[in-house]
Structure formats: structure tokens, C-alpha cells
Amino acid sequence: MSMEQELREKAKELLSSGKVKVVIGYGEGSIPIKSTPIFVKTPEQADCLVLNPTCTNNLTVYLPQAVKSGPVAVVAKPCEVKNIVELVKENQIKREDVTVIAVSTPGILNDAALAEFDLLDVKKISWKADGVAVTTSQGDTVIPRDAAFQKKCLSCTAAQPAIADIKIGDWAERAPLQDKFADVEEYEKLSAEEKRAFWAGQFSKCIRCYACRQACPGCYCNECFVDKNGQIWASKDTGAESNWFFHMTRMMHTAGRCTGCGECERACPMGIPLSLMGKKMSLLVKELFGTQPGESMEDAPVFGCYQTNDPDPCPE
Amino acid sequence: MARVGVFICWCGSNIAKTVDVEKVAEAAAALPGVAYSTNYKYMCSEPGQNLVKQAIAEHKLSSIVVASCSPRLHEPTFRRCISEAGLNPFMLEMANIREHCSWVHDDNDAATKKAIDLVAMAVAKVAKNEPLSSQAIPITKKALVIGGGVSGIQTALDIADAGYKVTLVERTPSIGGRMAQYDKTFPTLDCAACILTPKMVDAASNPNIEILSYSEVENVSGFVGNFDVTIRKRARSVDMSKCTGCGACYEKCPKKVSSEFDCGLGQRKAIYVPFPQAVPNVPVIDREVCRWFAEGKCKVCEKICPTGAIDYSQEDEVITEQFGAIVAATGFDTWDPQEYGNLGYGKYPDVITSLQFERLFNASGPTDGKLLRPSDNQPPKNVVFISCIGSRDDEHGYPYCSKVCCMYNAKHALLLKEKVSDAQAYVFYMDIRANGKGYEEFVRRAMEKYGAVYLRGRVSRIIQEGDKLIVRGADTLAGKPVEIEADMVVLAAAMKPQPDAKEMARKLGISTDEYNWFSEAHPKLRPVEVLTAGVYLAGVCQYPKDIPDSVAQASGAASKVIGLFSKPNLESEPTVAEVNETTCAGCLLCKEICPFSAIEPKLLTDRAGNPVKTVASVNQGLCHGCGTCVAGCRSASVQLKGFKDDQLLAEVDALAFME
């Protein structure tokens, strides 16, 4: 049975038994290069669920709202299970309200991999043993893994998730194709001035659409600091300085909570490498406190606990 | 719209000599919202305060800015002043133009300009201030004293005498502390036991004092008036209600180990009381060494006990109790002279520390009070005492002076002569520090009447030759090297903080200095308080002290506790956090990080009672207004009253957009 078939069966069981009211998963998009999030409410609709290399959105972002209408099942990749862990620990959802369908896939397609293709001519995108097959009117083209997958997938080890109710796919631990923090290492070679110039260039592109924030499962505040009217901390203009302030503040707010799902960067229409900031922060947290967000239900939040052996260095 | 009054103080010449106060008052008058502005020589004086009160009435002022000294000094004064004039005391802002301005600058023009900036910021903020009011918080009128040495005992006795309950927690099996180890005390040579043990018995028999020996404080939460303290009562393995203290068990116990109380010079049993006058006089079983616990056989003590008090199955008991105040009297440790390799401590048996020397002197010590050398049990003739072992030594030990060593060296030199009439004491010293009542006279007596030879200088090396210790050093006054053939060498090891002092400080939420001594609130004016309200210090845990100083501080700490308990209630600070329930996302990070456990989740419901969402809620009685939650809140949904974002931003804007 294919992973997709297995997912549909499980979804049907969950819905017909009444264990959940809705299964959040992926359905076919308007064209085959994209899947779209769908909310499956009946066992019949479960056949709409798909699982293929284009299933990219982090569906956990919907959970805090979705659980208000009853128990929910959600399709989550290993990186996204970590978001659920964080949401439970941060009291946004109750563990018992969420059935976690953890799916270990070979990897998710990165948009750039399709650059050479006529997107409207793409008929199907599917996993093959050595990468991703793109089917067009010309036939199948196989893109090798390191070119096909998102960076986060290349460094994924498919480590056992901290929580999972149903597991689908190959959960045998795998050797990552790339180090998770490889691009941070590359970035660290820049001097302070170069780093500043780099980000000044990046942030000058930002149009403050807040897609990064909306896509982020950690950004669930009812009112973001940047939307406040009474106490105006952050200017709403799109000058590079104001954008800088917004992004740095948002990054500080996700420090120790960012699981590296990469949704902010994927959602950004201006191509700002936001997950690089997230990873840099993640690396700092890992080096200083030895923990990584979402990897255990027991770890206290990094910014919410104090241990006598906590390091106290001055970050550069 | 606020009508702000601005009052610029000269502070005599403290402010006026650097800041043009007239000009500041003029500039203030032009600021938006300012209805009245003036200056006066001493605003805190009675005429100054009257000036403020009159202006409030005459100009219908709603908010007041006093530009003078630090709010630390006179904020309470002016809060009282404006509240007497009918305003809410929190409609006041202080602009600190003394410590932050006139005292630290000498350019008059620049200082005047800065003073105007500071006043403008305060005016912008006060215009957004809101009236605040405090609440009454009940006080748990029971004190916790941590440490059962002479300081802890004295504190407990004084508090109990005032009629309040005290729990005295001591981690060893008996109260008494260091003083119980001493033989005689300087400068009057009272026997330590004769003056300490009656106090120990008083503490034990006082109905207001509960002694928890063999117990440790595990956790402290809460705040002044209402601390929640978790105490671990370690398993004694002896039922305290059945034991009569007959001592049969430790007579018969077959297992001997080195005695901590005798500093390793004597032995104790696996079941033991540390010393004969122990309070409570109930033994404990040291489970680490007891044969029954180690090997599963023996049970001699159980067989011999006439009252069946031995209970091998006892377990640690963890209790949580409420206290209104806590006194830390946790004492000290001594520095290990092995750090000085050249003195042979730990290598030559007759090189000992002063504390070991006390035990050799003590009638209940390992030699029953006979002064005998550890190596051959013979009385020593020539004894060398060396001061400042680890004290006043930046390189190997501590830079500070341990304060008591000069005095006990003199005491030891004097007592040596009394015990062994043909003995000779040599004292190597750096300086003689004998500043206390009768102290200098005492040292003189040791030198002049008892013939102790004082040599100003350091010892470079001690080597064993036969049964003699060759002490080589310098006599810097004579300007020549000296060599003494000694039978025994006594090292005055430095006092150092308890090894777990830092951990204890963390539990109590108090700070420590660079060496880990507990930090007082003010080195001169608040020596027994710490910056955490409701916690006080007694004895050496703060800094090296002798017995008179420790006891004096203990009584000082007790009087602070009694003062606190004599009030019917505590008044809460109104500057506490409040939650905006509309924007709060309920992540409860604030609850995690609140040091006072003042934040709880709260379920919001609609009118039909259906749950809507969970938000954070601040217990105003527990909140200290530290602002940690405010900083932690990502959506700025927690605000600190009196320091709200819009108030602080107004202040910043006033500075940023200043012309």
C-alpha cells in the first residue's frame, strides 16, 4: 500500500470512528506543481488526500484555530511534529485534542527545482528511489535528491518524533545529505560589516506583507507587536531599518521555539533567506543550552527556565 | 488633560552649582502640559514641601514632577507630600538631576541642558501616569532561621522571646555550629560550651522554637510575609519520640569512622551524636558507613536500644511550610591549607589547623583536653602558630582578612602556656589586628605575661626532621631569617563561604559577593538586610566575624524580623503587572518565568459559561513588579502599572524628539 493509500485509510478510520472531526492534510492543487491544504470532514472526502513531493505547507499553523471546533488529526512531517510539541507546551493546543499523523517522506520539492520546466505542462510530480520524477508531455525527468529537495529535507534524519499517534512512511533513521547548519557556517565566514550589508540588502526587499509571520506556527499572538496601535514599538513603514527591526524582533520572539520548518522563507514572496536567521538562532540555542525546540515534551522553554549551569556569555 | 507642576530643587549647592536651576524651571514652564514651574533651595524641607502643596491647590495641578535627587532617597517623601495635598501618590515623577546630572558633570551648560532633558522626560511620563492604590497582604508571623550555630540560635531565641514562632533548621545532627567545637573564647576565656550549651538548651525548650536538625532547606518560593519553604528532614533512623538519649547504641556500635566534629583527629561511631552536649540529644545513623545499611548485617544498636527507638526503615520526610521571614545564618567553612604545599599540611601529622588545635584542647575532644601531638601523643614544647593561611593572599587564597585569626592565635598561645607550663609559643604574623573590646590588651597579655614570641614575617618552608618540624621563615623586623625547631605547627586557615553558599543564595533569591559571601543590602546602613525583602543575614555567612559580632548581628536580624511581624499587614506595592486579556495568547511563558509564582492561568468564558480562551492572570498580592513577565511577553500583553509601554515610550519620545 502506498503512503498516500495508507493515509487515506487512516483518515477514514479516524473520521468514521468519530475520534476526530477533521483531518488536516493535503489535496490536489489547481495545477499539479502544488498541493493545497485541505480540511477533510467526512470519510468519503478522505480520498481527496494526497501525499507527494509538492506537499509543502506546514499544516500545524492551523491547529490553534482548528481545535476550537473539536478534536483534529493533522498530517505532519518530522520537522512539523516539533511545532506540535511546541504548541502543546505553549498551551495553544491540548495534546489530547490532536491526533498526530507523522509522515516520513523522502523529501519535499523545492520550488527552484522546477525552474527549467514549463510549469503548465507538468502533469505529475512523484517520488522515485533516487529523487523526484517530473512527468510532462515529453515524458519523465528524474531530478536527483540534492537538487530536488528543500534544504531542511537534505539535513533530515527522520529521527523518531517526540509525539506521534500514527506513523506513516519509512522511519528508519537515515544519514543526512547535508549538515543542518551548513549554510550558517558559510554565513559565519562573513565579517560583521559584510553581514550587515547582506541583511541590509535583504531587508530592503521586504514589502511587509507578513506572509512569514502568517505561515509560522509559532506566530500565534492575537495581536502582533507590529500591529499595535496604542504602543507603537515598530514603525509600519517599509524602509530597510523598519523592516530590519520587524524581522529581528520576530526572530527574537521565535528564539528557542523555532523548529526550522522553513515556512517563513518559503512563504516570502521576495526571496529573503529568513530561515538562515532562524538557523543561526537555533545553533546558538543548541550551543548554549544543548536543547533543540520540539525534540522533547519535557524540555522546559529555553527562555522560561533557569539552571545554575546555564552559560552566561555575551553573544557577539 | 494633565496639569503638570514642575519643582526644581537646588539641593543647596549640590545641584545649583552645576545646573542653572532658574533656566531649567523656565524651560519646564514651556513644556506641553506644564501649568506651573518653580525652583527652591531645599524642596524636601518643610517650606519646600509646603510650596508643592500650595501650588497643587492654587494651580489645580494633577501631576507633579520633582527634579532633585534619586527617587531612592526622596520619592517616598514627595509621594507622601502630594498625597497630603489630595493627589494620588503615584501622580509623581522624580527627575534625578543630582546623581544623574550635577554630581557627575562639571560643564554647567551641558549639565543644564541635560537637566532640561531629564525634566522633559519626566513631564512626558507623568502626563500619562494613572492613580494607583495598594492592597493589604497578610503576614505569616513565623520565622525560618537557616543554620543552628550561635548566630542562628541567638536569632531564634530573640524572635521567640518576642512571642513569635521560629523554626530553626540545622543540617548536622545537632545545633551548636562551629562554636560548639571551640574550647575557650577570646578575650575573656569563657569556656565556649559553658556559654553556648545553655543557649542550645534554651532554644530546645522554648515553646516558640521548633528545631529541625539533620534537615535541609530544599526550596524557597513566595515573598516577604509569605514564603513557602520546602524542608527535607533527613532520615535519622532513630525515632525521636522514643529515644531517651541514653547513649547505649553508640557505646556498642562496632563501626568507627573519622569524626567530622573532631576535624578528623578522633573517631565516632556509625550511630552517633556529634558531641556529648548535642541538642537534640538523639543519635543519627550514618547510612553511608553503618554495617546494616552497607552489608545487611549487625543491628547491634537495635538490639541494645532499651526503648526500641532504632528504625532502619525511616525515610526522608519533605515538608512545606509558610514563613513570613527568613534569616540566613549558614556560617562558614575553612580553607584547606594543603593548597600551600610548602607547609606540609596533610603530609606531616603535627602540622594542624587552628580548628583541630581547638579540638585537642577541648575537654570533650579526642584527647579529653590533654594537649598531645597527633603523631606520638606526647605534649608539644615548641609550638609555631602561622597567621593568614589563605587569608590576605591574592595568589593562592583570598584577598580578604579572616578577622578572627589574630585573636585566636593569641588565645592559643596563651592557653598553650597554661596547659603545658614549659611550652613556648611562636606566632608568625603579617599585622596584628586586635580591634575589639579588650582585644589589644588580650594580645599584649599573651606576649608579655605568657611570653609568646611574635615574629613579623612569613614562613617559607616546613620540613620534618626526626620528630621535629623545622620551620623556616623570616623575621622582617629583625631583618633576618629564622629557623625554629617545633613540635607542632598550627595553621590559622582562612574562613571561606560554605561550599554550597551560591546554591543557598539562589534558593533564597539573594546575591553573593565575588567570594560567595551573602551580600547585604547596604554595607553600612543596612548590614543585616539583603535586597530581597523579608530575608536577613546573621553571622559569618555574610563575612568573617567573631562571636560577639555574630551574636550582635543575630540580634539585629531578629529585631528586623520582629519589626516586620509587629505590623498587622504588609502593604503591597501598587506597581504590579496586569494582563490585557484581549490580546493575551495564553502561552503562559510569563507563568514560567515569574520569580514569585504570581501568575496563574485563568479561563475566560462567554456569558453562557462556555470556555473562550485561557489567559494569564496576575495575583496582585504576590507580584513584586519586577517586570520579568513584561519583558517576556511577545505580544506586549502584560504591562507594569506605573511603567506601562506608553508611559515609557512617552519618556523616550520626549528625549528623541527634543529640539
- For residue B585, the distance in angstroms to the closest alpha carbon of chain A comes to 5
Q: What pLDDT, on a 0 to 100 scale, did the predictor assign at position B557?
A: 98
Question: So what CATH class is B4-126?
Answer: alpha beta
Instruction: Tell the burial category of B377 from Cβ atoms under 10 Å away from its Cβ (0-12, 13-18, 19+).
Output: exposed
Query: Is pLDDT above 60 for A316?
Result: no
Q: How confident is the model at residue A291 (pLDDT cuts 50, 70, 90)?
A: confident
Q: Given 3.40.50.2300, 3.90.228.20, 3.50.50.60, 3.40.1030.10, which CATH number is that of B335-496? A: 3.50.50.60
C-alpha to C-alpha distance for A158 and A80, rounded to whole angstroms: 11
Q: Give Cα B397 to chain centroid, integer Å.
A: 22
Q: What pLDDT, on a 0 to 100 scale, did the predictor assign at position A231?
A: 64
C-alpha to C-alpha distance for B632 and B629, rounded to whole angstroms: 5
User: Regarding the domain delimited by B138-234+316-331+500-565, which CATH topology (the fold level of the hierarchy) does it fall under?
Assistant: FAD/NAD(P)-binding domain (3.50.50)
CB A246 within 8 A of CB A208: yes
Taking contacts as CB-CB distances below 8 angstroms, the residues of chain A near B588 are: 90-91
Q: B394: helix, coil or strand?
A: coil
Mean pLDDT of the residues in chain A: 92
**How confident is the model over A21-67, as pLDDT tens digits?**
999 999 999 999 999 999 999 999 999 999 999 999 999 999 999 99
Q: Give Cα B401 to chain centroid, integer Å.
A: 18
Contact B636 A301 (CB under 8 A): no
Taking contacts as CB-CB distances below 8 angstroms, the residues of chain A near B503 are: 308
**What residues have CB less than 8 Å from A45, skipping those under 6 apart?**
A38
Contact B635 A223 (CB under 8 A): yes
Contact A232 B636 (CB under 8 A): no
Say if strands B165-169 and B142-146 run parallel, antiparallel, or are unpaired.
parallel
- For residue B638, the distance in angstroms to the closest alpha carbon of chain A comes to 12
b vs e for A156-192, b when ≥16 Cβ sit within 10 Å of the residue's Cβ?
A: bebeebbbbebbbbebeeeeeeeebbebbeebeeeee
Q: B121: helix, coil or strand?
A: helix
CB B286 within 8 A of CB B270: yes
Q: Look up the CATH number of domain B577-641.
A: 3.30.70.20
How many other C-beta atoms lie within 10 A of the C-beta of residue A4? 18
Q: Which residues pair with A176 in a beta bridge?
A: none
Instruction: Tell the burial category of B478 from Cβ atoms under 10 Å away from its Cβ (0-12, 13-18, 19+).
Output: exposed
Contact B586 A91 (CB under 8 A): yes
Q: What pLDDT, on a 0 to 100 scale, did the predictor assign at position B162?
A: 97
CB B163 within 8 A of CB B334: no
Q: Which residues pair with B343 in a beta bridge?
A: none
DSSP secondary structure code for residue B519 in this structure: P
Exposure on the CB side of residue A5, measured as CA atoms within 13 A: 2
CB B60 within 8 A of CB B83: no
C-alpha to C-alpha distance for A240 and A244, rounded to whole angstroms: 6
- For residue B548, the distance in angstroms to the closest alpha carbon of chain A comes to 35
- Cell digits of residue A103: 509522515
Phi and psi at B54, nearest 5°, equal -60, -45
Residue whose C-alpha is closest to residue B427's, from B494, B335, B492: B492
**How confident is the model over A170-216, as pLDDT tens digits?**
898 888 888 989 899 999 999 999 999 999 999 999 999 999 999 99
Q: B588: helix, coil or strand?
A: coil
Residues 205 through 224 of chain A touching chain B, CB cutoff 8 Å: 220-224
**How confident is the model over A37-48, as pLDDT tens digits?**
999 999 999 999
CB A279 within 8 A of CB A183: yes
Residue of A91, A219, A250, A253 to mutate for B, most B C-beta atoms under 10 A = A91
Q: Give Cα B341 to chain centroid, integer Å.
A: 33
CB B127 within 8 A of CB B117: no
**Residue of chain B minimizing CA distance to A88:** B587
Contact B585 A300 (CB under 8 A): no
**How confident is the model over B404-434, as pLDDT tens digits?**
999 999 999 999 999 999 999 999 999 999 9
- Cell digits of residue B236: 535519622
User: What residues in chain B have per-residue pLDDT under 70?
Assistant: 658-659
Residue whose C-alpha is closest to residue A18's, from A104, A105, A99, A110: A99
DSSP secondary structure code for residue A123 in this structure: -
**How confident is the model over A66-96, as pLDDT tens digits?**
999 999 999 999 999 999 999 999 999 999 9
C-alpha to C-alpha distance for B560 and A309, rounded to whole angstroms: 34
Percent of chain A residues past pLDDT 90, beyond the cut: 72
CB B438 within 8 A of CB B184: no
Taking contacts as CB-CB distances below 8 angstroms, the residues of chain A near B593 are: 303-304
Q: Are domains B4-126 and B138-234+316-331+500-565 of this chain identical in fold?
A: no
Identity at B240, one-letter amino acid code:
M
Q: B465: helix, coil or strand?
A: strand
C-alpha to C-alpha distance for B448 and B395, rounded to whole angstroms: 34
CB A93 within 8 A of CB A84: yes
Phi and psi at B308, nearest 5°, equal 65, 35
Task: Estimate the share of chain A in helix, then strand, then coil, as percent rounded to the nearest 5.
Answer: 40, 15, 45
- Sorted by where each begins, the domain ranges of chain A are 1-108+159-177, 179-316
DSSP secondary structure code for residue A118 in this structure: -
- For residue A182, the distance in angstroms to the closest alpha carbon of chain B comes to 30
How many other C-beta atoms lie within 10 A of the C-beta of residue B114? 20
* Chain B contacts to A (CB-CB under 8 A): 502-503, 506, 582-589, 592-593, 601, 614, 632, 634-637, 644-646, 649
Residues 277 through 306 of chain A touching chain B, CB cutoff 8 Å: 300-301, 303-305
C-alpha to C-alpha distance for B646 and B652, rounded to whole angstroms: 10
CB A120 within 8 A of CB A142: no
How many other C-beta atoms lie within 10 A of the C-beta of residue B396? 12
Taking contacts as CB-CB distances below 8 angstroms, the residues of chain A near B644 are: 231
Phi and psi at A19, nearest 5°, equal -65, -35
**How confident is the model over A88-108, as pLDDT tens digits?**
999 999 999 999 999 999 999
Extended beta strands in B524-589, E state: 535-537, 569-571, 577-579
- For residue A124, the distance in angstroms to the closest alpha carbon of chain B comes to 41
Q: B166: helix, coil or strand?
A: strand
C-alpha to C-alpha distance for B596 and B290, rounded to whole angstroms: 42
Sign of the CA dihedral running B203, B209, B212, B218: negative
C-alpha to C-alpha distance for A261 and A292, rounded to whole angstroms: 13
Compute the radius of gyration of chain B from its Cα atoms.
31
**Residue of chain B minimizing CA distance to A68:** B612
- Whole-number Cα distances in Å, B277 to A169, B169, B586: 73, 18, 57
C-alpha to C-alpha distance for B493 and B473, rounded to whole angstroms: 18
CB A315 within 8 A of CB A284: yes
Q: Look up the CATH number of domain B236-315.
A: 3.30.70
Query: Is pLDDT above 80 for A243?
Result: yes
Q: What pLDDT, on a 0 to 100 scale, did the predictor assign at position A315?
A: 60
Q: What pLDDT, on a 0 to 100 scale, did the predictor assign at position B541?
A: 97
- Sorted by where each begins, the domain ranges of chain B are 4-126, 138-234+316-331+500-565, 236-315, 335-496, 577-641
- For residue A292, the distance in angstroms to the closest alpha carbon of chain B comes to 17
